[in-house]
Amino acid sequence: MSVPFTGGCRCGAVRYECSAEPVQVAHCHCRDCQYAAGGGYSTIAIVPRDSLQVTGEVKGYEDAGESGNVVRRQFCPTCGTPVFSEPEIAPGIKVIKAASLDDPSWLVPQAHVYVGHAQPWGIPSDDLPRFEKMPG
């Protein structure tokens, strides 16, 4: 893995550079992430918010999240790629959708989270720990 790492949306209108290693990488099975992924779960990388430099306009949509806490979901208004989310409860972090990295291959997911909302067909058969919510 290499820092800084870069990424953006599919069309290139939104770009970012991140100067820190992710503090956590997980497969999130919450319903919001299912909508964002168009599938069973989103793989997410959590980084310190001040390590991220973003260029281009993202659009935001706020939902209450599975926990009842507001999460601002940010996506490219041109191509619709979900790129970030910002949990209001944790202003110091930003969540990057793994697929938006230019090279997502080096990420090492550590857990499945919000598995209570997982689809019966949506959990890969691996040995990663599973959590009902976000651990810690």
Total H helices, total E strands in the chain: 1, 10
- Does position 79 interact with Zn ion (CB under 5 A)? The reply is yes
x/- binding map, residues 106-125, to Zn ion, per CB under 5 A?
--------------------
For Zn ion, which stretch binds (CB under 5 A), given 72-80, 103-111, 116-124, 127-135? 72-80
Q: Contact with Zn ion (CB under 5 A): which of 18, 25, 28, 47?
A: 28
Q: How far apart are CA 63 and CA 60, in angstroms?
A: 10
Dihedral of CA atoms 105, 99, 84, 48 in degrees, nearest 10, equals 0
Q: Considering beta carbons, is residue 3 or 116 the nearer one to Zn ion?
A: 116
Number of CB atoms found within 10 A of residue 38's CB? 8
- Does position 89 interact with Zn ion (CB under 5 A)? The reply is no
Q: Considering beta carbons, is residue 3 or 11 the nearer one to Zn ion?
A: 11
- Which of 87, 94, 134 has the alpha carbon at shortest distance from 115? 134
Yes or no: say if 94 and 63 are a contact pair by the CB < 8 Å rule.
no
- Does position 36 interact with Zn ion (CB under 5 A)? The reply is no
Q: Contact with Zn ion (CB under 5 A): which of 6, 13, 48, 111?
A: 13
| Contact residues: Zn ion, CB under 5 A | 9, 11, 13, 28, 30, 33, 76, 78-79
